[in-house]
Amino acid sequence: MVGNTTPQSPHAAIFGMQWGDEGKGKVVDLLTEQYDYIVRYNGGANAGHSVQIGDDRYALHLIPSGILHKDKTNIIGNGVVVDPVTLIDEIDTLVQRGVEVGDNLRISNRAHIVMPYHKLQDAMMEAAVSAARGEHKKIGTTGRGIGPAYADKMQRSTGVRMGDLLDPDRFADKMAHVVRLKNAMLGGIADVAGAEFEPYDADELTEAYIGHGKVLADHICDTQHLLSTGMAGGKKLLFEGANGSMLDIDHGTYPYVTSSNCGSVGIYAGAGVPGGTVGRTTGIMKAYTTRVGAGPFATELDDAIGQRIRDRGNEYGTTTGRPRRCGWLDLAVVRYTAAVNGITEIALMLFDVLAGFETLKVCVGYEVDGRPVAGFPENGVALEKVTPVYEELPGFDEEITECRDYDDLPANAKAYVDLVERVVGVPVSIVSVGPKRSQTMMRVAHEAVGV
Ligand code: GDP
Ligand code: IMO
Ligand code: MG
């Protein structure tokens, strides 16, 4: 077992081991019953976590997936960048569908705000890169303003936080300064991008966002204190990672990444809990690989096999609707993200999608110029140079969506799971064969998970 986890701790974490959309929403929904606080600690509305309950599907972007369970406290930690407009919309949509959203949603007063100028900057930076260096150099962001909002957090003098919304005078004062700077900066970027730019009006923005603050005021609090006192009082925490470890700002395929620490390393800064808080740490992975946006992808299948995976897996983005790029399972990726994050177990998702292939190819390592690559390529450019080394396994013809017991899986499917465990060195404890709660097999004795 690898990593910095505390096995006896009652707190747990889940996060993605690939490039996002691994099925984190489904796993959080399955595990929530065992925990009291469900905590988002990174990312923003770039995330799209789908949960299916019976025939009802929910897409969550900022609110932890635990919101669909009664009597759980859902926390948006300080490490998340919050777009108040999207959040209010998400709350309204849930409430209209009969989901309770009140005291059970808490937002950190330290979480930074995504402002409209962040979203514009996100789009204009992509347009500027495209104009100057070509379309292929774009990051392919979700356009949700994530990078610019985190950049302002680090810049400090231009960062605005949820707590600022509760003090209108302070917020107005800050906005007057920030909007002047943003207008100057965005005007310059617009020149490079060849785009039109209409300067922002500080008073208008201030008024609108103080209004959003009023709507959200009852949810905004000191979530670090809430977590700290909760843990002291015996509450159990489940941390819900967003995006995926290969999109991690430090450890992913830079620069084709998002702007936060998506894995376990992000939990402590992004929620304000001490290192080693987490025990059970479940890495979520698809049985194959997908990626949205630009960047290298060693096992990508730009052919009929890739299209078959896309069709069977319904691989279209929850947030942007973009077709996801699809390819064979890359275990060099998962072995690396397992090491970075210190996972104690794996949830293998969307396994049903692989039924019906004659042969299944799995990448078990990389080579450059015929020599094996030690470690993981440092960035996107280095990853582009590798050749995947494949192991081929016979496929399984039988559909497995109705399997409920691990022993019911075809022998070739079990051999695939064995290969994952052997290459990654971590047990596969959850196998998922469909989006529904019931389409899940638990391989080790866990407490009741409601399936
Ligand atoms: P997340 O961002 O990691 O939460 O994942 P997404 O929700 O963006 O994408 C995963 C998609 O796969 C969702 O539409 C889920 O409903 C669906 N899903 C989850 N597990 C399974 C599975 O085992 N089989 C199939 N066919 N779909 C699944
Ligand atoms: P969930 O939580 C898939 C990708 C974008 C783009 C890159 C940077 O649903 O797994 P950003 O808007 O963050 O600056 O975009 O990161 N990306 C995701 N891809 N799932 C996600 O979230 C993602 N969040 C960001 O497609 O390539
Ligand atoms: Mg998603």
Read off the pLDDT of residues 404-430 as tens digits, 9 standing for 90 and up.
Answer: 999 999 999 999 999 999 999 999 999
pLDDT digits (tens, 9 = 90+) for 175-222: 999 999 999 999 999 998 889 999 999 999 999 999 999 999 999 999
Strands, E assignment, 37-137? 37-40, 49-53, 56-60, 73-76, 81-82, 105-108, 112-113
- Extract the tokens encoding 355: 């039924």
Q: Which residues of 68-80 are buried (b: 16+ CB within 10 A; e: fewer)?
A: bbeebbbbbbbbb
Residue 433 alpha carbon to ligand 1 centre in Å: 10
Give the residue-averaged pLDDT of 125-154.
94
Question: Would you state the torsion angle of the CA atoms of residues 353, 358, 362, 368, taken in this order, to the nearest 10 degrees?
Answer: -130
**For residue 5, what pLDDT is reported?**
59
Task: Provide the pLDDT for residue 451.
Answer: 38
The band of 317, judged by pLDDT with boundaries at 50, 70 and 90, is confident
Distance (angstroms) between ligand 2 centre and the Cα of 146 equals 9
Ligand 2 centre to CA of 7 (Å) is: 30
Determine the 3-state secondary structure of 49 from DSSP.
strand
- Environment class of 132 (CB within 10 Å of its CB; exposed 0-12, middle 13-18, buried 19+): exposed
- pLDDT higher than threshold 90 for residue 1: no
Average pLDDT of every residue of the chain: 94
Residue 51 has pLDDT above 80, yes or no: yes
Among 46, 51, 122, name the best residue to mutate to test ligand 2's pocket (greatest count of ligand atoms within 8 A of Cβ): 46
Sorted by where each starts, the structural domains of the chain and their CATH numbers stand as 11-108+222-442 (3.90.170.10), 112-219 (1.10.300.10)
Number of the ligand 2 atom closest to the C-alpha atom of 122: 14
- Cα–Cα distance between 24 and 16 in angstroms, integer? 7
CA 170, 171, 176 angle in degrees (round to 5)?
100
Judge if the beta carbon of residue 335 lies within 6 A of ligand 1.
Answer: no
Q: Is the pLDDT of residue 318 over 90?
A: no
Mean pLDDT for 88-105 is 98
Q: Pick from 56, 63, 68: which is nearest to 84 by CA?
A: 63
> Is residue 447 pLDDT above 70, yes or no?
no
Question: 306: Cβ below 6 Å to ligand 1?
Answer: no
pLDDT at 279: 95
pLDDT for res 3: 45
Give nearest CA residue, ligand 1 atom 9.
21
Q: How far apart are CA 99 and CA 198, in angstroms?
A: 39
Identify the pLDDT of residue 444: 67
Contact in structure between 386 and 298 (CB atoms under 8 Å): yes
Ligand 1 pocket check: which of 14, 17, 21, 30 to mutate, most ligand atoms within 8 Å of Cβ? 21
pLDDT tens for 331-351 read 999 999 999 999 999 999 999
Residues with CB under 6 A from ligand 2: 16, 19-21, 46-49, 139-142, 144, 146-147, 242-244, 247, 258-259, 292-293, 318
pLDDT digits (tens, 9 = 90+) for 245-292: 999 999 999 999 999 999 999 999 999 999 989 999 999 999 999 999
350 lines ligand 1 (CB under 6 A): yes
Q: What is the pLDDT of residues 355-396, one digit of tens each?
A: 999 999 999 999 999 999 988 998 878 899 999 999 999 999
49 lines ligand 1 (CB under 6 A): yes
The answer to whether the CB of 285 is under 6 A from ligand 1 is no
| 430: Cα separation from own chain's centroid | 19
Band of residue 7 on the pLDDT scale cut at 50, 70, 90: low
Residue to probe by mutation, ligand 2, list 61, 86, 114, 142, most atoms within 8 Å of CB? 142
Contact 230, 77 (CB under 8 A): no
The confidence score (pLDDT) of residue 96 equals 97
Amino acid occupying residue 362: V
Element (H, E) at 209: helix 202-216
Q: To which residue do tokens 């960048």 refer?
A: 81
List active site positions: 21, 49
Residue closest by Cα to atom 21 of ligand 2: 243
Dihedral (CA of 111, 117, 120, 126) sign: negative
Q: What angle do CA 299, 251, 427 make, to 5 degrees?
A: 65
Q: From the alpha carbon of 52, which atom of ligand 1 is closest? A: 16
> Crossing angle for the helix pair 202-216 and 84-96, nearest 10 degrees?
40
Distance CA 210, CA 84 (A): 10
One DSSP character per residue, 111-134 reads SEEPPHHHHHHHHHHHHHHHHHH-
Match 């939990």 to its residue by tokens.
267
Q: Which two tokens stand for residue 353?
A: 């999608």
